[in-house]
Amino acid sequence: MSEITNFQGETTDALGADDMEAAVDRLIGRVGERVRKARELRGLPRRVVSELSGVSPRYLAQLEAGEGNISIGLLKRVAIALDHRIEWLVGEDDPWTSEAMRVADLFASATAETRARVLDMLSPEPPARLRGQRICLIGLRGAGKSTLGEALGARLGLPFIELNREIEEQSGMPVNEVMALYGQEGYRKLEAQAVSRITATHEALILAVAGGIVAEPDTYKSLLAQFHTVWLKASPEEHMGRVRAQGDTRPMAGNPEAMEQLKSILRSREALYERAEAQLDTSGRTFETTLDALEALVHERGFLTGE
């Protein structure tokens, strides 16, 4: 080994070429093993992780085998799909034995009441005060977020905003063009900016967001902290039926496995959706009955009191 001087003026040993190559190989192997373990712990088929991350199944297989020299951008997508921070996949410490990981897992699996108590102890201000009278509806496409959100806003006298419409207004183009031009990462960046902008300019509103926003850890964390979140639940059959009733045949057209894929996505996101402050099952209910139940939930949980 030779010596090098770092940015602080300290002299350290530099790795030789063979040592450097071995260190890289260990990192690639460690990342692959952790990706595989995280996927298996969540019960996700490799195909589902591929769909959520945009990384091909073949590339994922190579990565898990310690043979894939994956880019930082693609690894970030895989981390998001697995609901893990990227540093957990590349760090020296074992994330499944570290104290931070244990605390995070305990918090995620805790009841809403326990999570609220933890946040009360850790937050400088009560969570309800931070959330104000901002209400956010989350859930898969077809949950009724937009129609229920607009109707609820009219009943409560609150403005209603659909996040994708906000993104379109700011970017000057439809969301599908945003995706085509900037890709998934570009869209997520605009999505995060839109959430921050809405939070800063509205103390009270109803917000409807895209179903996949929960897979972006930082943006979802902001939503949970700054909004009263409600997960609108429904069975996969009802999700699919509502989308088709809106005239959108894409979920089924030419794809006989669409229903199974929908169920897989719902399973993979269920733990994320369950982090919402409240849940409302809309299965088997009429629109008016669901709207009444949603309004009652808002009043019962004190979402408009700011206390």
The pLDDT value given to residue 183 = 86
Q: Does residue 306 belong to any structural domain of this protein?
A: no
Judged by average pLDDT, the poorest of 25-29, 117-121, 278-282 is 117-121
Q: What is the DSSP string of 200-250?
A: HH-SEEEEE--GGGGGSHHHHHHHHHHSEEEEEE--HHHHHHHHHHTT--T
Q: Of 102, 137, 153, which residue sits at a domain end?
A: 102
| 246 contact partners, CB below 8 Å, separation of at least 6 | none
Q: Is the pLDDT of residue 253 over 90?
A: no
Residue 18 belongs to a domain: yes
| Arithmetic mean of pLDDT over the chain | 80
pLDDT attached to residue 100:
61
Q: Which of 44-58, 208-222, 263-277 is predicted least confidently? A: 44-58
Stronger pLDDT, 33 or 121, i.e. the higher one: 33
Statement to judge: residues 98 and 149 lie in one domain:
no
> Are 161 and 15 contained in the same domain?
no
Q: Specify whether 20 is located in the same domain as 133.
A: no
Count up the domains in the chain and report the number: 2
Q: Using the predicted structure, report yes or no on whether residue 12 has a pLDDT greater than 70.
A: no
CA proximity to 142, closest of 51, 258, 251: 251
Domain that holds residue 61: 2-102
Instruction: Output the pLDDT for position 209.
Output: 95
Answer yes or no: do 139 and 288 share one domain.
yes
- Indicate the range of 96-100, 240-244, 260-264, 293-297 predicted with least confidence: 96-100
If you search the block for the tokens 């300290």, which residue do you land on? 10
Whole-structure pTM over 0.75, yes or no? no
Rounded CA separation 152/282 (Å): 15
